[in-house]
Structure 1
């Protein structure tokens, strides 16, 4: 892990994310890319070239000043921190910055959302999770005592999830964390018997790892929803972090089917890290 992106909106939640990123950067000798999305009004963008440039420069300088003040944190001492200011506020663009900078991880603070606001609008974190092609770590609380030693990776053990599992495994290795794998069995059409689950998991691990050494780290949980199953198991094993594969659904597919990873990113009290399938 060499580069970590942290979107900054000057809130306490982006402060939590920045402090978490600092902890990870110190462990991995990584650079922090602090990203501020400066929203430019339509009025400014539709002005004449010369006038627009002057006003854009003015707002960029204001943002830079506030940015520099925000980054004056003791926990950043000794780290390489690169401020990046972009004059847009479209959160799908965070992925473009990540690709441009060849970043390895996005760390983002979130207070989550719920009810009608979540259903129709969603949170900015949810949008980043949906579009990001690299892992996204979502932080909800002050991370002073946070150590990611115990990680729960939730998986459906389908062939599509092999790459996400291997990415999560590499991330856990870099964090020196123990990874628990979990399959949540639901009382619905997707219900599977124990032999069926064991066969599915064994085939998955053989394809992903080439052996069955990880089988002892796999748990099977029965619950009414995947989200509830992951949360209860994470509490049971004292997890520090929930990791999950995400399809990054967009448009109508996302609207009707939803996304377990985005629900967890919004609702879980533990930090959540997503890996794109």
Structure 2
């Protein structure tokens, strides 16, 4: 490795339960394995508006439980690959900000993320989470389609 080449020690993988996030996790594990890099899985549960409580409380608890389930599955895959890993399940109205903050806070060297096609109108008004991460990340981002 040359003196100027980046050293990848920690890779972040946001998971949303979709086949594309599974693909991103598999790619991150394959990338990390020869480097013996740590893989951190992050699941962000998007909460229901608080103005709709108590309905929102049950929805939010269910969403966070599913996020924790995704993290548990990811941690097993990471461990089975012989890698060090960690997992976080959090709640946020802005998943892309949580992803970017986690990458910085956890000293991640790269982010592996799946990009959904989504509907064109939704992307026009809101953009995808992957697009927002890609636009604002200070570390390399591998986008899988």
Same fold (TM > 0.5): yes
Partner of 2:68: 64
Paired residue for 1:118, among 109, 123, 130? Answer: 123
Matched residue of 1:92: which SS?
helix
Is the Cα–Cα contact under 8 Å of residues 13 and 111 in structure 2 kept in the other structure? yes
TM superposition outliers: structure 1 runs of 4+ over 6 Å: 44-47, 52-58
Gapped regions of structure 1 (runs ≥ 5)? 141-277
Q: How many residues align?
A: 136
- What is the alpha-carbon distance in structure 1 between the residues aligned to residue 78 and residue 42 of structure 2? 19
- Gapped regions of structure 2 (runs ≥ 5): 1-7
Cα 1:125/1:76, change in 2 over 3 Å? farther
Aligned twin of 1:138: 143
Corresponding residue number in structure 1 for 2:5: none
1:18 aligned residue: 25
Choose the corresponding residue for 2:113, options 94, 108, 111.
Answer: 108
Given the alignment, which residue of 27, 31, 34 partners 1:27?
Answer: 34
Q: Is the 8 A contact 1:113 1:122 kept in 2?
A: no
Tell me: CA distance 1:57–1:24, structure 2 relative to 1, closer, same or farther (3 Å).
same
In the TM superposition, residue 46 of structure 1 has moved relative to its aligned partner by: 6.9
Match of 2:81 among 58, 70, 77: 77
**Structure-2-length-normalised TM-score:** 0.76
Whether the 8 Å contact between 1:10 and 1:70 is mirrored in structure 2 is: no
The Cα shift of 1:54 comes to 10
* Structure label with greater radius of gyration: 1
CA distance in 2, matches of 1:11, 1:24: 20
Specify which structure has the bigger relative contact order, considering alpha-carbon pairs within 8 angstroms and separated by 6 or more residues: 2
- Are residues 44 and 82 of structure 1, via their aligned partners in 2, closer, same or farther at CA, if it must alter by over 3 Å? farther
SS of aligned partner of 1:65: helix
